[in-house]
Structure 1
Amino acid sequence: MGTVFSLDVRGGAPDRIAAAVEGAAAWLRHVDEVFSTYRPGSQISRLAAGGLTLARCSAEVREVHRLCEDARRRTGGWFSAAYAGGFDPTGLVKGWAVERAAEMLRSAGADAVCVNGGGDVQTFGGPWRIGVADPLRPGAVAAVVRAGEGAGGTAHGDGLAVATSGPAERGGHVLDPHTGRPPRDALASLTVVSRTLTEADVAATAAYAMGARARGWLAAEPGTEAFAVTAGGRTWHTAGFGALADPPAGRTPGR
Structure 2
Amino acid sequence: MRRVEHVMGFPVSLRVDDADVPEAAVDAVFAWLHEVDARFSPFRPDSEVSRLDRGEQSGDDLSADLREVLDLCEHYRTATGGAFDVRLPGRGLDPCAVVKGWSVQRAAELLTAAGAERFCLNAGGDVAAAGGPWRIGVRHPERADRLCTVLEITDGAVATSARYERGDHIVDGRTGRPATGLLSMTIVAPTLTEADSVATAAFAMGTEGIEWAASREGCEVFAVDAERQVFRTPGLPVAA
Q: TM-score, normalised by structure 1?
A: 0.85
Residue 69 of structure 2 aligns to a residue whose secondary structure is: helix
Deviation, structure 1 residue 54? 2.7
Distance 2:54 2:160 in 1: 30
Contact 1:218 1:238 in 2 (8 A): no
- Tell me the residue number matched to 2:194: 199
Deviation, structure 1 residue 12? 4.5
Q: 1:64-213 to 2 correspondence within 5 Å? A: 64-84=69-89, 86-148=92-154, 159-184=155-180, 186-213=181-208
- Tell me the residue number matched to 1:152: none
Distance 2:69 2:177 in 1: 25
- Tell me the residue number matched to 2:210: 215
My pick for the range that moved more, 229-238 or 57-66, is 229-238
Distance 2:160 2:110 in 1: 23
- Tell me the residue number matched to 1:238: 233
My pick for the range that moved more, 90-99 or 103-112, is 103-112
Contact 1:129 1:145 in 2 (8 A): yes
> 1:91-110 CA distances to partner (integer Å, 9 max, x unpaired)?
10000011011111111111
Q: TM-score, normalised by structure 2?
A: 0.91
Aligned length, in residue pairs: 232
Contact 1:81 1:89 in 2 (8 A): yes
Asked whether 1:46 is paired with 2:86, we answer no
Deviation, structure 1 residue 240? 1.5
> 1:193-239 CA distances to partner (integer Å, 9 max, x unpaired)?
11111111111111111112122212322111110123343311122
Deviation, structure 1 residue 75? 3.1
Deviation, structure 1 residue 180? 0.9
Distance 1:191 1:101 in 2: 21
My pick for the range that moved more, 45-54 or 113-122, is 45-54
Contact 2:120 2:130 in 1 (8 A): yes
My pick for the range that moved more, 1-10 or 209-218, is 209-218
What amino acid sits opposite 1:40 in the alignment?
P
Contact 1:37 1:45 in 2 (8 A): yes
- Tell me the residue number matched to 2:31: 26
Contact 2:84 2:205 in 1 (8 A): no
Task: Mark the CA change 1:83 to 1:12 in structure 2 (over 3 Å): closer, same or farther.
Answer: farther
Give the superposed CA RMSD. Answer: 1.7
Contact 1:136 1:233 in 2 (8 A): no
Structure 1: gaps (5+ residues): 149-158, 248-255
